[in-house]
Structure 1
Amino acid sequence: MSPKKCIFGCEGKLNLFALPKEERIRQQWIQYLFSDQRPPKATVYVCSRHFSEDSFVNKAQYDAGFSARLLLKDGALPFIHGDVEESKAAASPVLLPLTRFRNTACQTDPEPKVSVATQFCHYMVSVGTQTSYSPSTRCAATQLSYNTLKQHVRSKATQASVSHCNVGTVTTQSETGIQPGVRPAKRPRLEMKEEEEGEEPEEETDLPEASDQYDPICEPYEPDESSSEPPDSREAEATPSHYNDPKYIVFESCLRDLFLTCPVCGLSCEVRRGRMGTFVYFSQLCPSCDYSRKWESQPVAGSTPLGNLQMSAAIYFTGGSFSQVEKVCRAMNLQVFQSDTFRRHARMFLEPAINHKWKRDQQVLMERLRGEGSVAVGGRMRADLLGHCGKLGSYTLMHLNSSSVIDIQLIQSAGVSGSSHVETEALRRGLDLLQVNRLSVDHIVTDRRTRVQKYLRERNVCHYYNIQHLEKGLSRKLKKLAKSKECLLVRRWLPSIRNHVYWSATTSTSAPEKVAKWKSLVNHIQNVHTHDDPLFPTCAHPNRVSVDPSKWFQPDSVALHKLKKLLLNKRILADVGKLSHDHQASSLERFHRLVCHFAPKNVAFPFVGVLCRLYLAAMHFNEDAERHKERSSEVTAETQQSEPKPKYVSELMKLLFEEVFKEPSTYVDELKRIPVPADLSPV
């Protein structure tokens, strides 16, 4: 097989180019090389000595030793006939720009559009003169950005850098902003296990669960089209600011299509993939022209992909369950990290951020309430964890005028005398906190628990009872009484008796008047509207004659006797006199229903985990209360199209990435100051 030779007989180690495959450009080559002569039937080669310097894509890289062979531009034409040495003198007048052949050969052919994604960096060294160099371009069928297609080349034999000598010269910087002869700083190495082509996906290799070392914060590799400086040479920013970028679900096959072919020579490339949770990277290497690059799906700070951390934060901050999210991801084969990574993120970053934000918001709320003078608060106990086992108990203090949670105390039963003392201890801590912050309590509305009554009486705090608590307890007893055969009439009177509880409390302020109105219920059920009590001698409504006497209780009947014994009980009368006539604790009921979303009782969380989830529920509830207050004060005819994004989640994300992730030790120390009792064995 004869060796390839230039058609003009040039000798030496040269780059040879065959006739192009595109018919129009091929005919231009033939017409220019052979004029009116018939071209030979054998394959024709033309060496690089018969082309101008601007006919090549990678002339600068080839001269610097970074490319093994020269690559022609699309549409490049040879310009020198015969021997090169003989044509040197006539080279200048023979030089014809590419546009001349384009205009003469095809008048209707427009200038080809050049994609910015096909521009590559060139090193230009100027010695003795001031030189500017315009990088070569070509059109390629790709949608990759300019920085993504930046060329990274390697040397097969050695690792060499281009020396730069500046001797009385002015060297212009290339479009990529790379200083000639200045080696860019290395990007921090990401520790992960790479997955070879054709292998099954492996589990991510994130940091071990036992590791408590915080990763140093450094700028991740994130291509930025607005910056002319390469990612490796940019100084590391102190704050990762990419958490607000939009995210998308991308299929792996679509990603691989971007790296299968070399954007320089168009040949097949070697592609390797690595994964760590939601993070994936692709390494591309062209065996022909040594083009290489590495693409990463998300910024990496230290060894922590920001997408993994933000996904953990989104699950935690919204009260979600990682196990449920993991099931959804596994169902659609969406890659996700393991539960150990989620717990490590929570312990190192998320819980310190939640604790800090709640303490800060709590101080702002107390300062605002301090200007209003004395406040009316409501208190409610909730048993947490594993179905009312009494292991943990939380007590909530709420400002009743604004329906805002002021404080939440979490108590473990082992830290007090027993589970029956959890409520009084939590209430004591909450009132002490209000006192330390110079917030005076006008009165408090709670349930009718005996220990709480005694404690507030000893502390000299005005105490009222929640009407709903009395109504629910009384309704249970009435339903039990209505099951007997002789008391079936009680079932018909249940709604009226429940309404009478609210009417007796809310229409009177003094305790004797509340009791007098409550006693009038016994006369109502007998169709008697005059009373023996001087404070309430007669009913305000007109007396109506009933046509159905069977719906009234008959005097001296068994049903009336049992009902009077229940309604006129000494304990019931005392509690009716202390019912709250102004504020009710219905907002506390709504808050406890919300807590079931953030901290469900059928899931076992650690002590700090329960506390942080209670704080999240309080921030969510206070934000909703403030939003409803703003809506009620604004009169508008426009309807609300969609529920706005929770503001507290956005603020937590900003705090996490701009403060906590930057210096986590300060916030972790703040969280560690919370006294955590020893863990109990599960019941």
Structure 2
Amino acid sequence: MSRRKCYFGCEGKLNLFASPKEESTRQYWVQFLFAGQQQPTANWFLCSRHFSEDAFLNRAQYEAGFSARLLLRDGAVPSVKGRVQESEALASSSQQTPTTHYRHTGCQTDPLPTVSVATQFCHHMVSVGTQLSYSTLKNHVRSKGVQVTLCSSVDTENPQQDTRLKLSSTPGKTSAPSPGVRPAKRPRLELQEEEEDEETFSHPHDSTNDLGDSEMSGMESACDYTDPKYIVFESSLRDLFQTCPVCRWECVVQQRSLGTFVSFSQRCPNCQYTRKWQSQPIKENTPVGNLQMSAAVYFTGGSFIQMEKICKAMNLRMFQYDTFRRHARMFLEPAINHKWKTDQQTLIEHLKEEKDKIAVGGDMRADSPGHSAKFGSYTLMHLKSNNIIDVQLVQSNEVGGSSHMEKEGLRRGLDFLEAHHLNVDYIVTDRHAQVHKYLKERNVDQYYDVWHLEKDLSKQLENLAKNKECLVVRKWLPSIKNHMYWTATASKSGAEKVAKWKSLVNHLQNVHTHDDPLFPKCAHPDRVSRDPNKWFQPGSTALSKVEKLLLDKRILRDVEKLNHDHQISSLEAFHSITEGFTPKNDVLSSVGRLCRLYLAAMHFNENAKRDQSTTLEGKAVCRLMFPHCKNGQCIATPVQTEPTFQYVSDLMKLLFEKIFEDPTRYTEDLNKVSLPEDSRGAAGTQQSRQQVQEAPGTSGQQHRTGWRA
């Protein structure tokens, strides 16, 4: 453009025009300029000073700053010959009678001030309504009149090219730091195109050039992840950019999308007005909405597969599963690990301040029923506060089989408490034989949970009650269960517990005096029943079988070790919550399963001490339930207040304010966690730690069709 000059040699700010293509108009130009002389062979141009003011389409917009250059009307011809200097052009135009041109820009959403622009000519007054507020135009306004900032050139000749935005939903891989040198903040992310199978929406006026690095840097914006979000239809968005807010011409609209992110570039072919708009902030080349969607699914224990099905059902744009896994590996899992370790250390410091030995409960949960479990998680709970202290993940091939996972998980948990100088007073567990032997060797006092013993004994009594000669046993099942709980809590001495348990056999025969000196007589008054069929008859088959079962040596030994203060029913409740975060049928990697266990622990600890709900009058609220374990009997259970999810908000804050800025330290902390290596395939080949974190589970296809990610 710098080589082009006006044919008459005019100087100053020029708008140059080439000779028109229409033959009749072109001949008029040639006759005006050369008047029969020979026409030069080189290309020639005329500047705007050789045309009258009514020869232009957008003279008012150009002088107001809304157009970058002047546009000639069809059939416009020059009328001023010779060199015209800029000062002469201004002087001649100042001698004309000034006419004020008013252009009103209205909005359908916000009340706007009237924008009045004084120009040197006008033919009529135009009032234009638009859906854009005046604030959208402020980005293009400068101090000299009103000017627009031009975007880069837009190609409209290839409307069928790919319109997806070439930016990354996740950061690129960073190089390994030098030994002994802590790396600085991660380098600027490389632009890469997502391999997505989503549709791109074509438009007759779409431009399809991909954004470059310079344009991408201009799209970076402040990240406010707490902003409310809304579902907006694409047609509603296109209505905002269909027409020019200045001249009301139909604009060329370019749309680019990446997952939940969409951007529009608008250009008016008439007045050259341009504008860019994006649906969400972009930070480090990553759309914030994409990352926050992954975080919301993961932090709440949800399933990406289920979320993807929901989005597809309502045609809501969503990124791919691989993007979700990269988000999890690089940001989400380091955030979960850091939050859990911080909360765990706070709980340990609080327990140290009490300067007392702690009573803990321990139990294992396997990832599948039976002896085919691959993973097992062993949990230690502080029984006084019902808070989870530690969770250990064990893989079966580490210890030689599923039956050895519980002992190994307990060993790791006790080693963790010992390393943090927490003294264990006693531990309440189930009746696992290996656990009993290990705790005896480690000199740790062990007690049994009443529910586990009652559960095992009830199964044997129910099987006994199926015999025709022992039908009376079924009538006594609730009483036997209640007697076991009373035996556990009525005395701290093991001998007294055994004596009270043996008295049950006398109760079955309606005898309330006993030979045991520790418990010679029942405390309740004697009751005489008129129906002898309610009692066990002396010497009957039913009584002998029940007596043999209740007075078995192992049963008596276990009754002696029943805990009198605390039970691990809260630990069973934690396992129920864990089922929502890591269902047993899911296929998860080691790090994915461990992080979801941490999420379940954070959720349980936050809601461990919820109060009972009350009515407006202050009365406690209960609900009737018919649990399967009660064989259809109705029980009243208290209704607790709604759970809170403050840990999710804390994780979001940690993610966007710290980890997203520099994830290196947090990723290193996660890599220090001791995790079993996943095995894949029938041969059980061992995978590296990097492959384990990349993989969603034992099989990518299997995981895609599974219930949860």
Q: Match of 1:277?
A: 259
Distance 2:578 2:389 in 1: 15
Counterpart secondary structure, 1:141: strand
Q: Does 1:397 align with 2:380?
A: yes
Q: Does 1:326 align with 2:308?
A: yes
CA contact (8 A) 1:378 1:397 kept: yes
Q: Match of 2:188?
A: 216
Q: Match of 2:132?
A: 144
Distance 1:561 1:668, change over 3 A: same
Q: Match of 2:273?
A: 291
Distance 1:410 1:86 in 2: 87
Distance 1:209 1:463 in 2: 50
Q: Match of 2:52?
A: 14
Q: Match of 2:523?
A: 540
Q: 1:384 aligns with which of 367, 374, 378?
A: 367
Q: 2:234 aligns with which of 243, 246, 252?
A: 252
Give the letter for the 2:353 counterpart: G
Distance 1:336 1:46 in 2: 44
Q: 2:417 aligns with which of 416, 425, 434?
A: 434
CA contact (8 A) 1:397 1:405 kept: yes
Counterpart secondary structure, 2:359: strand
CA contact (8 A) 1:403 1:625 kept: yes
CA contact (8 A) 1:196 1:272 kept: no
Q: Match of 1:492?
A: 475
Q: Match of 1:126?
A: none
Counterpart secondary structure, 1:529: coil
CA contact (8 A) 1:120 1:150 kept: no
Alignment of 1:72-83 (within 5 A): none
Q: Match of 1:677?
A: 676
Distance 1:331 1:232 in 2: 32
Alignment of 1:22-421 (within 5 A): 56=60, 58-61=62-65, 66-69=68-71, 140-149=128-137, 173=143, 216=188, 241-372=223-354, 373-384=356-367, 389-421=372-404
CA contact (8 A) 1:520 1:531 kept: yes
CA contact (8 A) 1:467 1:501 kept: yes
Distance 1:330 1:96, change over 3 A: closer
Alpha-carbon displacement from aligned partner over 1:8-38 (angstroms, at most 9, x marks no partner): xx99423429xxxxxxxxxxxxxxxxxxxxx
Q: Does 1:424 align with 2:407?
A: yes
- CA shift for structure 1 position 138: 9.0
Q: 1:562 aligns with which of 530, 545, 563?
A: 545
Distance 1:345 1:362 in 2: 24
Q: 2:488 aligns with which of 495, 498, 505?
A: 505
Alpha-carbon displacement from aligned partner over 1:534-575 (angstroms, at most 9, x marks no partner): 111111111111011111000000000000000000000000
CA contact (8 A) 2:266 2:275 kept: yes
Q: 2:427 aligns with which of 444, 448, 457?
A: 444
Distance 2:671 2:116 in 1: 52
Distance 2:174 2:369 in 1: 29
Q: 1:457 aligns with which of 420, 424, 440?
A: 440
Distance 1:538 1:385, change over 3 A: closer
How many residues align structurally?
Answer: 557
Kindly report the root-mean-square deviation, in angstroms, between the aligned alpha carbons of the 2 structures: 4.2
CA contact (8 A) 2:105 2:128 kept: no
Q: Match of 1:129?
A: none
Distance 1:552 1:410, change over 3 A: same
Alpha-carbon displacement from aligned partner over 1:311-364 (angstroms, at most 9, x marks no partner): 000000000000001001000100101111111111111001000100000000
Distance 1:268 1:434 in 2: 71
Give the letter for the 1:379 counterpart: G
Distance 2:668 2:251 in 1: 50
Distance 1:454 1:545, change over 3 A: same
Distance 2:419 2:58 in 1: 89
Distance 1:324 1:340 in 2: 15
Distance 1:638 1:289, change over 3 A: farther
- CA shift for structure 1 position 290: 1.5
Q: Match of 1:128?
A: none
CA contact (8 A) 2:223 2:288 kept: no
Give the letter for the 1:13 counterpart: F
CA contact (8 A) 1:58 1:70 kept: no
TM-score by length of 2: 0.70
Give the letter for the 2:130 counterpart: T
Distance 1:541 1:547 in 2: 19
Distance 1:195 1:497 in 2: 86
Distance 1:357 1:415 in 2: 27
Distance 2:315 2:299 in 1: 24
Distance 1:204 1:569 in 2: 73
Q: Match of 1:225?
A: none
Distance 1:648 1:47, change over 3 A: closer
Distance 2:572 2:393 in 1: 18
Give the letter for the 1:655 counterpart: L
Give the letter for the 2:345 counterpart: Q
CA contact (8 A) 1:118 1:263 kept: no
Q: Match of 2:15?
A: none
Distance 1:480 1:203, change over 3 A: farther
CA contact (8 A) 1:273 1:282 kept: yes
Distance 1:277 1:252 in 2: 14
CA contact (8 A) 1:15 1:69 kept: no
CA contact (8 A) 2:577 2:600 kept: yes
CA contact (8 A) 1:204 1:337 kept: no
Distance 2:333 2:57 in 1: 69
- CA shift for structure 1 position 273: 1.2
Greater mean alpha carbon deviation, residues 370-379 or residues 345-354: 370-379
CA contact (8 A) 1:376 1:399 kept: yes
Counterpart secondary structure, 1:533: coil
Q: What residue ranges of structure 2 are gaps of 5+ in the alignment? A: 1-21, 26-47, 74-89, 118-124, 176-185, 191-214, 622-638, 683-709
Q: What residue ranges of structure 1 are gaps of 5+ in the alignment? A: 4-9, 18-44, 49-55, 72-83, 103-110, 123-136, 154-171, 188-193, 219-230
Q: Match of 1:657?
A: 656
- CA shift for structure 1 position 302: 2.5
Q: Match of 2:627?
A: none
CA contact (8 A) 1:277 1:336 kept: yes
Distance 2:401 2:248 in 1: 76
- CA shift for structure 1 position 202: 7.5
Counterpart secondary structure, 1:445: strand
Q: Does 1:579 align with 2:562?
A: yes
Distance 1:514 1:682, change over 3 A: farther
Distance 1:288 1:474 in 2: 87
CA contact (8 A) 1:151 1:292 kept: no
- CA shift for structure 1 position 676: 2.6
